[in-house]
A and B are shown apart, each in its own frame.
Chain A
């Protein structure tokens, strides 16, 4: 395809696992998998003109910026299993973990029953239409935060399915944040099934922190807030409420926020812990000692003017076994694997980041090497 004009210079014996790629799930595709009465809604949406990540009642958007010629046309989508496999092959990616497009924003729906029905429909659609059809494509069970009990049932329903290797925790427009005790059934189920939970945000303008970015008049600054601030806010609440204490076997992954914020949060919380530990009484050790067991996906990988700074950065939070390559394909800010491959990481660290860490985390056997 035109968007990938050159194959990367990936060494042939290097396994590349991409922890964040996106499938496009139009409402009409999910309709047959959705319970009534919401199936009627999805069928209805199939008859109205749809815009990219902007479908009323399905992928809620608030576009604030005045349009300009040729801008904002980065509406790449992947609609078939074959296309995804071809796209990933074009980037020498062996394994991709699938996330949705539109339902990245599922947390905004006030109707918990509708949100839960959408999540069930997506999971069933993914299992039937995407998983097990091409080598190296795996899914994440979508957990609707509005109905944690139903989300836990979904995790238990699909936890034994060969194709599902993680649980997707949506962050955009979420309230309460993922540290809230109401989500405990989700964590209990994920821990029981051995599935890592993966937090993933998306661009959104919404009243819930940190998506209340209406006063920022530039996308340049809205976008990092919508991603990194959302991950930071959720990480902080999860640490403070003792998620890693109460679910010690649970693996927690932060997606699409890069890595440079991790040392800041680790050191800042440790500093605070010296004075206010008693306000997070579940913690048995300093916050950074929990954070160093979390996982962080690379995309959007930071691009410091001195490339060596990126290597230093990962060392600052002992990330050698905790950083996971992700491309975010096919979204507008995707990272080609060679962006990480070309960073001056030592060879062993490169192998860990590009695939070995993810294979171990997700419980996926190493695939046969490319010929």
Chain B
């Protein structure tokens, strides 16, 4: 297992992201409302550069909302720039999809420094 230093956590404030390349693999590093996440930059749909997409929220409706659309998952929905497929950045899962997910990597935070584990 490789452990890649990513620098200080404070250099990646909430809402920010970085793209790193290690061994030819592109990985997006995200600060999602204070939590760090890392995903391979490859959409499970058509292999587009998902991590380059916009981060926003989305519309969801359910019985709990009386079937009224709600603005949900603010600042934690990643839209693949190719086809706008939606992924929940906290889990990597496609929102209400067929079980697709971004390939996730572990991030460790030690004494204010971030490390990517491959």
Binding site for B on A (CB under 8 A): 2-3, 5-6, 68-71, 73-74, 305, 332-336, 338-339
Q: B82 to A68, Cβ gap below 8 A? A: no
Within 8 A of A (CB), among B26-46: 26, 41-42, 46
A residues near B42, Cβ cutoff 8 Å? 6
C-alpha gap A212/B28 in the complex (Å) = 43
With contact pairs A2-B49, A338-B47 given, residues A333 and B83 touching in the complex (Cβ less than 8 Å): yes
A residues near B84, Cβ cutoff 8 Å? 71, 74, 332
Does B52 have its Cβ within 8 Å of any Cβ on chain A?
yes
A residues near B82, Cβ cutoff 8 Å? 3, 334, 336
B residues near A6, Cβ cutoff 8 Å? 42, 47, 49
Q: B41 to A332, Cβ gap below 8 A? A: no
Of B1-9, B10-18, B53-61, B107-115, the one with at least 4 CB within 8 A of chain A? B53-61
Q: A305 to B98, Cβ gap below 8 A? A: yes
C-alpha gap A74/B48 in the complex (Å) = 14
Chain B: residues with Cβ within 8 Å of the partner, total of 19
C-alpha gap A69/B41 in the complex (Å) = 22
B residues near A5, Cβ cutoff 8 Å? 26, 41, 48-49, 52
Closest B residue by C-beta to A74: B84
Our pick among A3, A68, A71, A333 for the contact of B81 (Cβ within 8 Å) is A3
Min CB gap A339→B, angstroms: 5
- Residue from the set A6, A70, A305, A334 with the largest chain B CB neighbour count within 10 Å: A70
Q: B54 to A2, Cβ gap below 8 A? A: no
C-alpha gap A210/B47 in the complex (Å) = 33
Min CB gap B86→A, angstroms: 10
Closest A residue by C-beta to B50: A5
Q: B46 to A69, Cβ gap below 8 A? A: no
- Residue from the set B46, B48, B49, B54 with the largest chain A CB neighbour count within 10 Å: B46
Q: B49 to A69, Cβ gap below 8 A? A: no
Sampled A-B contacts (5; CB under 8 Å): A3-B48, A5-B48, A6-B42, A71-B79, A334-B82
Min CB gap B80→A, angstroms: 11
Q: A70 to B47, Cβ gap below 8 A? A: no
C-alpha gap A3/B82 in the complex (Å) = 7
Q: B54 to A70, Cβ gap below 8 A? A: yes
A residues near B59, Cβ cutoff 8 Å? 68
B residues near A68, Cβ cutoff 8 Å? 56, 59
A residues near B54, Cβ cutoff 8 Å? 69-70, 73
Q: B46 to A338, Cβ gap below 8 A? A: yes
Min CB gap B7→A, angstroms: 23
A residues near B48, Cβ cutoff 8 Å? 3, 5, 336
C-alpha gap A334/B57 in the complex (Å) = 24
C-alpha gap A70/B55 in the complex (Å) = 8
Q: A69 to B98, Cβ gap below 8 A? A: no
Closest A residue by C-beta to B51: A5
